[in-house]
Amino acid sequence: MWLSRVAARSFSVAAAAMQSARVYVTRKVPPDGLEVLRKSGRVQFELWDTDDPVPRAELLKKVRGVDGLLCVLTEKVDAELLDAAGPGLKVVSTMSVGYDHLSLEELKKRSLECVYCHFHLCRGIRVGYTPDVLTDAVAELTVALLLCTSRRLVEATHEAKTGGWGTWRTLWLCGYELANSTVGILGLGRIGVAIAERLKPFKVKKFIYTDVAPRPELANMINAEYVSMDELAQQSDFLTICCALTPETQGICNKNLFSKMKETSIFINTSRGGVVNQDDLYEALATGQIAGAGLDVTTPEPLPTSHPLFTLKNCVILPHIASASYTTRNAMSVLAANNLLAGLRGEPMEKELKL
């Protein structure tokens, strides 16, 4: 009974506080999301109104005393930032599907404290993220990058522009076809399924995947076979990386993986740069151990223009644009804003990361 009264009283305080909740938005996010915050009438938000990341010192200053934080993947939410924000921070909403920029352990262990009795509730800072809404955009970009890399389109464009286009030659700029190929997926989730669905009309012969465990429900959607990591490397003509960056997947695409792949294989990564050992990838590409690579993500980002990978004709590097469509980015900002508002109200978020 006592706890019920405390909970009810805390809820009333939280509801009242929501009327004037302070929120910091760390980037000039797409307008649809900002409109959600404005129309809510429930928050006062300050915006870092530029396309460039907020400087760390400025971020640490601006988060002091906020109730909510709406961030993007360039902001490291760690112990330092959480200490700067203080005990009133209730919600972190990131406009991203990845969450390796968030220190989940730090977020989890910081519990909310009842303002009346100092009773610690059993829930830490709540975290919202934006999966699913970018599935189509990422899948489309992955297919585009795969085709661009395998059919050597960047090389071909360069040759046409710089006078390399001479007489017709039988094997000049030949690439590799999807027809009758085996496509491997490392980390089968919704994005991996969406990629396979788009590749199927190209007459792909077989889809294979590996994950921490078989995922039959998703695999059945694309008729994919579960295989070991070694089998994935050995069989794949095209290997797409779709896994999250975790301590277990950090650098998982390394010399050991590349050494087992075919010399004709194409490697595509649209997940996170940290899953790839870039030194090992460079060696594999430079020596012809694999045929080509297409990367939308790197470590660091942006990748310095002096990086050796940029010297290779068989490596296509994009500036992390997989979700870069107007429709998707606006949908991400709306979801991030709604997650933030729901968290501040103490209601279920549409997409909450369970810590």
Annotated catalytic residues are 320
Rounded Cα gap, residues 145 and 129, in angstroms: 25
The phi and psi torsions of 238 (rounded to 5 degrees) equal -130, 125
State residue 307 phi and psi, 5-degree precision.
-65, 140
Tokens matching residue 26:
């760390």
- Among 151, 77, 134, which residue's Cα sits nearest to residue 355? 77
**One-letter amino acid of 26:** T
**Would you tell me how many other CB atoms lie within 10 Å of the CB of residue 295?**
23
